[in-house]
Structure 1
Amino acid sequence: MHQCSLFILILLCVSVRDISGSWEEWWTYDGISGPGFWGLINPQWSMCNKGRRQSPVNIEPDKLLFDPWLRDIQFDKHKVSGVLQNTGQSLVFRVEKDSKHQVNISGGPLSYRYQFEEIYFHYGMEDNRGSEHQIDHHTFPGEIQLYGFNKELYHNMSEAQHKSQGIVGISLMVQVGEPTNTDFRLITSAFNKVTYRGSSFPIKHLPLSSLLPNTQQYLTYEGSTTHPGCWETAVWIIFNKPIYISKQEMYALRQLMQGSQLTPKAPLGNNARPVQPLHHRTVRTNINFNKQGLQGSNNCPDMYRNMHYTANLAVALADDIITDSSLNITTVTTDKEVTTSLPEIN
């Protein structure tokens, strides 16, 4: 009996050692290696289970804090080249390390310049799911996340992701519709080149700034990376307009597989981490809701009293995620109209 137990223990230790050599390949979005177990798979990922500033989150419009000091987001106009890769968990674009012209991200809520590094694609196998962040509990068909690292304080993404103010995450919600951005086709046309895990395809001269929606309205909060190890070092910026992808492009994206050509396993889609508790964090916005000439508070001059929003829940495909005129939540699919007041600030 003791010999049997010792044998099982040895096998377990060998298995754990083998897995620990490939943590980045072992985690998934479902099952015993899914999001609920990320913090248990690898002790260095403990924040995935224990952290209190985790991402993604659900954005509650009635709890947004208007901040008039938030600036416009600035992206360098340089084009970038890199590699689009199917990692088995996500579709990821990573910029060339030795590129002469790097794209810097600054402004907005950022106190430093951040150097663009990679793009993650999150999407669902159906249109009613896919994005990681939610707006008033509404989920978009997809979400594209641009990551950059703090180049003023740190040397690279590997170092910055563990450090304070190390990372910026730019979130672009994805809707299915008629594309308005031809530059995005540099990526979408390559979807069929990366069908299986480990496959990659070079992308040349991608104008990153032109991929962004035509707006300077955004929401921002302090959070984490949405993949292991869930490091709580990210400043998130969620633009207030989606970008569009055609039905054909979304179909091609949904053909990507988690496994190799010999063992394709399951589709790559539905690769979204569930929303995490906000834990009293503040979500700020530069959207000015004060359209009715309401008086500001003397004690809090950057907020307004008695502001209201109207959730116009019947229109599902309007451009704005949250409109600045009546704060219409145009992406929720119910036919009821809801009016809620923001809390008064004393």
Structure 2
Amino acid sequence: MYNTGRHVSLRLDKEHLVNISGGPMTYSHRLEEIRLHFGSEDGQGSEHLLNGQAFSGEVQLIHYNHELYTNYTEAAKSPNGLVIVSIFMKIAEASNSFLNRMLNRDTITRITYKNDAYLLTGLNIEEIYPETSSFITYEGSMTIPPCFETATWILMNKPVYLTRMQMHSLRLLSQNQPSQIFLSMSDNVRPVQPLNNRCIRTNINFSMQGKDCPNNRVQKLQYRVNEWLLK
């Protein structure tokens, strides 16, 4: 686990490979990195909005197409290069077991400053996923420069949870090194971008289907969010 100065980054060692396939993916993709985005206040910090509302954070699992490309760097600038699975983070009384391992006090305080790193072992990637198979997907860009438009985004339809104390610990991480002035890593998000006529697809069963996009894909997708999800 690594403080990049912009993200909390978790990278797998090369002996433990995690691949995903199926769903909207034509190829198998290999997990390269997990990044955390979060806000300085509750209700902001996610890079995607749901019904115009942000969440307190967002977990992004970044995968590259290992069938077409030899590594992440090559895939990131190439067609069909990346798949990014995005999961909203929501504050609750109890936390997701995977996030609990990452964000407990003994662990997170070891990466307080830029370039700090700490080895985590025994993690199970499956535990980061919420209990749902529903998702929304679209073709878009990376959210960090140079923002290549080579990514397929998959947004899971349920959040994962972390405690208020764990979110507070994230906000105490610094963008800078110890010798420099403290500057919180919070609000490490790219502003929301226009849809630009992209088609948004989903496996959620809607009663109404649009005709603007082929294959029954809805171009301007909107749906009502359960109130408990936004509280």
User: Which residue of the partner structure matches residue 125 of structure 2?
Assistant: 208
1:309 Cα offset (Å): 7.2
2:224 corresponds in structure 1 to 311
* Pairwise CA distance, 1:311: 3.5
- Residue 86 of structure 2 contacts residue 156 of structure 2 at CA under 8 Å; is this kept in 1? yes
Aligned positions of 1:13-24 closer than 5 A:
none
Q: Which residue of 2 aligns with 1:152?
A: 67
Normalising by structure 1, what TM-score? 0.61
Report what 1:197 is aligned to.
114
C-alpha root-mean-square deviation of aligned residues, in Å? 2.3
Return the index of the structure with the highest Cα Rg.
1
- SS of residue matched to 2:224: strand
User: Displaced runs of 4+ in structure 1, greater than 3 A?
Assistant: 294-297, 300-304, 308-313
1:281 maps to: 198
Q: Give the SS at the match of 1:282.
A: coil
Q: CA contact under 8 A between 1:224 and 1:230: conserved in structure 2?
A: yes
CA distance in 2, matches of 1:295, 1:278: 19
**1:250 equivalent in structure 2:** 167
The total of aligned residue pairs comes to: 225
SS in 1 for 2:121: strand
- Structure with bigger helix share is 1
**Residue pair 1:196, 1:264 contacting (<8 A) in 2 also:** no
Q: Secondary structure at the match of 2:180?
A: coil
Q: CA deviation at 1:191?
A: 1.5
**Which range moves more in the overlay, 201-210 or 138-147?**
201-210
SS where residue 202 of structure 1 aligns? coil
> Residues 19-38 of structure 1 correspond to what in structure 2 (within 5 A)?
none
Structure 2-normalised TM-score?
0.90
Residue 270 of structure 1 corresponds to which residue in structure 2? 187
2:153 maps to which of 222, 236, 239: 236
Q: Percent identity?
A: 37
Measured in 2, the distance between the counterparts of 1:95 and 1:102 equals 7
* Aligned 8 A contact 2:39 2:186 in 1: yes
Determine helix, strand or coil for the equivalent of 1:95.
Answer: coil
- Give the direction of change, closer, same or farther, for the CA distance of 1:276–1:301 in structure 2 (3 Å limit): closer
Q: CA deviation at 1:277?
A: 1.2
Q: Which residue of 2 aligns with 1:259?
A: 176
1:220-265 per-position Cα deviation (integer Å, ceiling 9, x unaligned): 0001110111011100000000000001111111100111112143
- In structure 1, give the amino acid aligned to 2:92: G
After superposition, where does 1:49-64 map in structure 2 within 5 Å?
A: none
Distance in 1 separating the partners of 2:225 and 2:63:
35
Query: How far apart in 2 are the matches of 1:249 and 1:203?
Result: 17
Q: Deviations over 1:188-215 (max 9, x none)?
A: 1221111101101111121111210000
Q: How has the CA–CA distance of structure 1 residues 205 and 128 changed in structure 2, closer, same or farther, with 3 Å as cutoff? A: same
- d(CA) in 2 for partners of 1:295, 1:132: 26
Q: Which amino acid aligns with 1:134?
A: L
Contact 1:91–1:120, Cα closer than 8 Å, also in 2? yes
1:314-333 paired onto structure 2 within 5 Å:
315=227, 317-318=228-229, 331=230
Instruction: Tell me the residue number matched to 1:108.
Output: 23
**Code of the aligned partner of 2:185:** L
Gaps in structure 1 of 5+ consecutive residues? 1-83, 319-330, 334-346
Identify if the C-alpha distance between structure 1 residues 148 and 244 changes in structure 2 by more than 3 Å, giving closer, same or farther. same
**1:83-162, aligned counterparts within 5 Å?**
84-96=1-13, 98-99=14-15, 101-162=16-77
Give the secondary structure class of the aligned counterpart of 2:123.
strand
**Aligned-partner Cα distance in 1 for 2:6–2:74:** 22
